Chain A
Amino acid sequence: MTATDLPVDPTSAPIPSFDDEEDAGRKLVLICSKGSLDMAYPGLVLANAALGEGVETHLFFTFWGFDIINKKTMDALKFTPVGNPATHMPQMLMGLPGMTSFATHMMRKQIEGLDVPAVPEFLDLIRDAGGHLWACRMSADMMHLTEEDLYDGVEGIINASDFIEIAEGAQTIFI
């Protein structure tokens, strides 16, 4: 029963139902497979929101998603308008030199303007809120990366079976 179902009695106050008990055991897994600036944020925003709702949250970074947790690239993700009709710009021009840098610069400014943190700070926020960060074994091997190369909050490089175990009973979203 939610607070809004309660009869409104002028002498007694409705109390927000924070659903702590109903939400117990709820679990979210986000698979982050893309390394562009625009595709990094959906996972980070959802993870942060889920944690703020008391939901156990795991992020699994795989393939291009490694750029989000690679110390060398995490603060330099790019956005490209090439091949993206949703920018509503003439595609002929999008491949011109400097266009990706320009588009990235614009997007970063917009993100900052909304007071949304840059990727490294966002990862800090998620870690501090109790989120779990995992890196994919096969991707690490392909890219010759070790835990040393990855953001400090990454708990481990795990294989596909480990991931399946972690994801047991979770709502899983592939990004």
Chain B
Amino acid sequence: MPVATIDGREIHLDDEGFLTDPSEWDEALATRLATNIGIELTDRHLEVIRWARADADEQGETPTLRRLQNVGGFPTKELFQLFPKKPAKKLSYVAGLQKPVGCV
């Protein structure tokens, strides 16, 4: 399993590059990760990310797009604008979470 050193800190990743330990994440790292995939983080991105992380912490799994909309109040359309094409995966990556596991 790759261990990366980012800004002088050790970060544990899976083979694809997703963080395996959400506690190694902070918002500065999120900016770095977002840049890696061509996203410039805005306050709105951070709102979604903070909510997703809090929810994942409570529920024990990464929220799906449906949950982000129905429970978090972030419209699906907007999520596709913020994290183009693959919102669930890109959000998970930037938020330091694992990819959602369910089919829906």
Please report A residues at the B interface, Cβ cutoff 8 Å: 3-4, 8, 10-18, 20, 23, 45, 48-49, 52-54, 114-117, 122, 125, 128-130
Q: Let me know if A15 and B37 touch, CB within 8 A.
A: yes
Pair count A-B, CB < 8 A: 86
In the bound assembly, the distance between CA atoms of A9 and B77 in angstroms comes to: 37
B5 proximal to A (CB < 8 A): yes
Contact check: which of A15, A45, A53 meets B86 at CB < 8 Å?
A: A53
Q: Let me know if B65 and A8 touch, CB within 8 A.
A: no
Q: Let me know if B2 and A8 touch, CB within 8 A.
A: yes
| Dominant secondary structure of chain B at its interface with chain A | mixed
Report the contact-size class of chain B (Cβ under 8 Å from the partner): 20 to 34
B102 proximal to A (CB < 8 A): yes
Please report B residues at the A interface, Cβ cutoff 8 Å: 2-6, 11, 13, 15-18, 36-37, 64-67, 69, 75-77, 80, 84-90, 93, 102-104
Q: Let me know if A16 and B11 touch, CB within 8 A.
A: no
Closest-CB distance, A112 to chain B (whole angstroms):
12
Q: Let me know if A52 and B86 touch, CB within 8 A.
A: yes
Closest-CB distance, A173 to chain B (whole angstroms):
16
Contact check: which of A14, A18, A116, A125 meets B89 at CB < 8 Å?
A: A18
In the bound assembly, the distance between CA atoms of A3 and B76 in angstroms comes to: 27
Given contacts A4-B16, A11-B4, A20-B84, 6 further A-B contacts (CB under 8 A): A3-B16, A10-B2, A18-B86, A128-B69, A128-B76, A129-B76
